[in-house]
Each structure stands twice: as structure tokens, then as C-alpha cells.
Amino acid sequence: SQQGEEDPQALSIQEGENATMNCSYKTSINNLQWYRQNSGRGLVHLILIRSNEREKHSGRLRVTLDTSKKSSSLLITASRAADTASYFCATPRRNTGNQFYFGTGTSLTVIP
């Protein structure tokens, strides 16, 4: 079963704009991760945020985590056509470290 839900399901923006995706999850976690997937191929790890962190940056990526609301957001600033992909949040299954529940994903299209 899916642990997380991403919102929106699909997002279309112009190059240079910012893209924000949200993820909600169901159980308590010790970390949350975001992944990117191009054209139904393998997933690429983007960023990990621990449960005691509220915000984390990596290049043009900014992730926030609100454990009280069981939600996270991924912001991509100054988007590029190459950012076109599906984005998934992932949370560890109960009592495991790296066995993950993935959300349903947000499909991002960046128009040149």
C-alpha cells in the first residue's frame, strides 16, 4: 500500500519558474527522502531530511518537513527543462531503515 500521497499529481510550469510539490504520509518517521524518476526509468536520490530537521537545501532544491502535520514539501527553484520528471517522496517502513514506502508521485513538466 502507498504510505504517502503527493500533491499535485501533475504540474506544468514555464522554465525559470519555481515548482512546489507536497507529500503527506501516515506514520511517524525518522527521515523522509525525495527521489526523481525520468521517463519510467530508475529513481535518483535527491535529498534526505531527518525528523529533527525542519528545512534542508541542496542546490536549487529546498525541502521542508512538518512532523506534526505529517507532511513535506519539495521546492525546485529556477526550473529547467531537464527537471521534467516524476518526483516521489519516500518514508521508511515501520521498524526498518531503508525499506521504503513511496508516494504516488508528482509529474512535473517544465516548458522551455
Partner 1 sequence: ETGVTQSPTHLIKTRGQQVTLRCSSQSGHNTVSWYQQALGQGPQFIFQYYREEENGRGNFPPRFSGLQFPNYSSELNVNALELDDSALYLCASSLGLQGTETQYFGPGTRLLVL
The footprint of partner 1 (CB under 8 A) covers 1-2, 4, 30-31, 35, 40-45, 48, 50, 88, 92-93, 96-105
Judged by beta carbon, residue 26 or residue 78, the one nearer partner 1 is 26
SS3 1: coil
Judged by beta carbon, residue 10 or residue 78, the one nearer partner 1 is 10
Contact (Cβ atoms closer than 8 angstroms) between residue 79 and residue 19: yes
Look up cell 512538518; give the residue. 66
Burial of residue 62 (number of CB atoms within 10 Å: 0-12, 13-18, 19+): middle
Judged by beta carbon, residue 44 or residue 111, the one nearer partner 1 is 44
Minimum CB–partner distance for residue 90 and partner 1 (Å): 8
Put residue 9 in one of left, alpha, beta given phi > 0 → left and psi -120 to 50 → alpha: alpha
Minimum CB–partner distance for residue 50 and partner 1 (Å): 8
Minimum CB–partner distance for residue 43 and partner 1 (Å): 4
Minimum CB–partner distance for residue 67 and partner 1 (Å): 15
Judged by beta carbon, residue 5 or residue 15, the one nearer partner 1 is 5
Contact (Cβ atoms closer than 8 angstroms) between residue 4 and residue 105: no
